[in-house]
Chain A
């Protein structure tokens, strides 16, 4: 990784860009507008494009974040860590399309490290040499597991896991403390979330054992050992790993996922928020990126809510904390 001072220019650019992010006041204005158009106007004021429906606007904004950060960052490749998430999505779509015979093109997304059309050819021809080894192993594993079980869930499980492990490895290789911390927290949160969801509805220890990802601060063994026991007891036990606020919310809401998922997103934003006022380093850039993704999520929640005339209280309940 480059010396942190090399990021001075990028950090200054990001600081300016942060002014256009969706803060609480903007979100409130969107929420209070009576129509979708009114909410979109607030987005336009914040620099979002004006043409197309809101899905297109949000997709364009997502693409913009990545191109913008790659452009200003002295190490554009660092953002591949996050872009691989889109590749993992495309891999899942391509595999599922292959197994089900469905048309997949409309579900593929841009912003991945690999161009979606190239990726499509690579998966079709099984020429996986260019992909990170986590992905290629997972694709072989998924093809094999699917042919045995005919269960599409295995594809998602294996590819998602590969993405988290890849993220973790690349963060370690980059030697960036923030990214390593972020990787561990994302894995822990994902595991906690899976644990709560499986305990709440699916009650399937086998699924849990397949879905848990190692590499977080809470060892996988703890989840498996606690599966038969009371969920609150387990949550209390894992408090010590730095997830106190999260765990308290989970206990308070008796395993309801709405509040917990919101708390998870808020946790990550708060975590990267610590780096916001640093003058150097990749921290403010990562914070800006995750903050923008949260903005887009919030905008989507409000816009979908407005389109479907959902009560403002239900929308507000789901809005994530904003980065700025």
Chain B
């Protein structure tokens, strides 16, 4: 493992030790965050699968009934029947915070005076098959919106999980070992210096004693 390119000084050592402490704390926190995000993600994905299956079923129903309606009606009649919608739909977007990931929340509002009469066309020039198609699509719409919300949430969470996992891994496999390695290197270097110093002192002491001894013998 490569160590950092730093001067092996005591000041640097203290600095690196501090950094290592922070990195370890960060690593633990990020790991916790990742685990929690995963938990949330799995719940959302489960809901997502359920919604998607429901949506596919409803949209397929709506689509096939539209095809049938289109088969028994003139194209122009069908287009005329649907050209001016009766229902107004409001879609509000707000934000929710999941582990500091900002996910969208869709508020779906329908404004229809009469819930049973959602059909914007008269009955004389349209086929009853179209009623079924419009009804199926109306039923599919809230599911579609809910699915859009969940799917976007899942996407954003997945991105965040990916990011967090990369950070955790970077800390765990690169940053922390690197710091440890460098700290070890500096400690060893300092110890080595210390030992060198002691040896030098001892040598100097010996030399001085030798010098003293020679002076004494001259006198």
Contacts and interface: CB of A to CB of B under 8 A. Distances in A.
B161 interface: no
B184 to A, nearest CB: 70
B84 A304 contact: no
Contact of B84 (A100, A197, A213): A100
A310 B128 CA distance: 19
Interface in A149-189: 151-153, 155-157, 159-161, 163-164
B83 A201 contact: no
A152 B86 contact: yes
A109 interface: yes
A63 to B, nearest CB: 13
A213 B125 CA distance: 13
A153 B68 contact: no
A51 B217 CA distance: 131
Interface string B16-40: 0000000000000000000000000
Interface residues of B, number: 35
Contacts, number: 123
Interface in A275-324: 297, 300-301, 304-305, 308, 310, 314-315, 318
B70 interface: yes
B114 interface: yes
A201 B114 CA distance: 12
A203 B77 CA distance: 24
Contacts of B180: none
A107 B135 contact: no
Which of A88, A104, A201, A305 has the most chain B CB within a 10 Å cutoff?
A201
Contact of B67 (A99, A161, A308): A308
A106 B80 CA distance: 10
B72 A301 contact: yes
Contacts of B77: 89
B107 to A, nearest CB: 23
A157 B122 contact: yes
A305 B135 CA distance: 21
Contact of B124 (A160, A257, A304): A160
Interface of A is mostly: helix
Given A152-B84, A310-B67, A261 B123 contact: no
B84 A99 contact: yes
A201 B135 contact: yes
A295 B202 CA distance: 117
Contacts of B127: 257, 261
B131 A164 contact: no
Contact of A261 (B122, B125, B128, B135): B128
A107 B79 contact: yes
B76 A89 contact: yes
Interface in B66-120: 67-68, 70-72, 74-77, 79-81, 83-86, 113-114, 116-117, 119-120
A45 interface: no
A102 interface: yes
Which of A106, A152, A159, A300 has the most chain B CB within a 10 Å cutoff?
A152
B129 interface: yes
Contacts of B135: 201
Contact of B121 (A153, A161, A204): A153
A315 B72 CA distance: 10
A20 interface: no
Given A258-B128, A304-B67, A160 B114 contact: no
A304 B122 contact: no
Contact of A202 (B72, B119, B122, B126): B119
Interface stretch (A21-29, A90-98, A224-232, A233-241): A90-98
A83 interface: no
Nearest to B127: A261
A89 B80 contact: yes
A65 interface: no
A151 B114 CA distance: 11
Contacts of B83: 93, 96-97, 100, 102, 104, 107
A194 B124 contact: yes
A155 B83 CA distance: 12
Nearest to A207: B117
Contacts of A88: 125
22 contacts: A55-B75, A89-B125, A92-B80, A96-B83, A96-B84, A107-B80, A109-B74, A151-B120, A152-B85, A153-B120, A155-B122, A157-B124, A160-B122, A161-B124, A197-B131, A200-B128, A200-B131, A202-B119, A261-B72, A261-B127, A297-B72, A300-B71
Nearest first, the 3 closest Cβ-Cβ pairs linking A and B are A257-B128, A156-B122, A304-B71
Interface of B: 64, 67-68, 70-72, 74-77, 79-81, 83-86, 113-114, 116-117, 119-129, 131-132, 135
Given A109-B74, A300-B72, 11 more contacts: A89-B77, A92-B125, A96-B80, A153-B86, A193-B128, A211-B122, A213-B124, A258-B129, A300-B71, A301-B71, A310-B67
